[in-house]
Amino acid sequence: MRPNRIKVRILLPLTLVLAALFGAFVAGAYQHGQRKIDDAVERDLTAVQDLLNTELEEETGLMSAVLDVLARDGEFRGPRRMAAST
């Protein structure tokens, strides 16, 4: 009976330690994966914001140019005044 007691005294703590190490590894891998996902989402969000700002600047420039042309156009001034007065 003596060899079985030694096996139990050694194997049980060893199994618990290995299980704890495995659990720590799984938790670390999960946190690392979540951090990578968070970084990717933040990077994509920044890219979308930059793209939106660029598009808004381009559209604003285009609208400003169209308004300048319309303001200088003599044929457009007359109908615009008539529409405003009615």
pLDDT digits (tens, 9 = 90+) for 22-50: 999 999 999 999 999 999 999 999 999 99
Q: Using alpha carbons, select from 24, 26, 46, 45 the residue that is nearest to residue 34.
A: 26
Domain layout of the chain by residue ranges: 2-85
70's torsion region: left (phi>0), alpha (psi -120 to 50) or beta? Answer: alpha
Q: Which two tokens stand for residue 83?
A: 């529409």
Is residue 70 within 8 A of residue 76, CB to CB? The reply is yes
b/e code 16-53 from CB counts within 10 Å (16+ = b) = eeeeeeeeeeeeeeeeeeeeeeeeeeeeeeeeeeeeee
pLDDT band at 79 (very low <50, low <70, confident <90, very high): low
More confident residue, 71 or 50: 50
Given a cut of 60, whether residue 80 has pLDDT beyond it is no
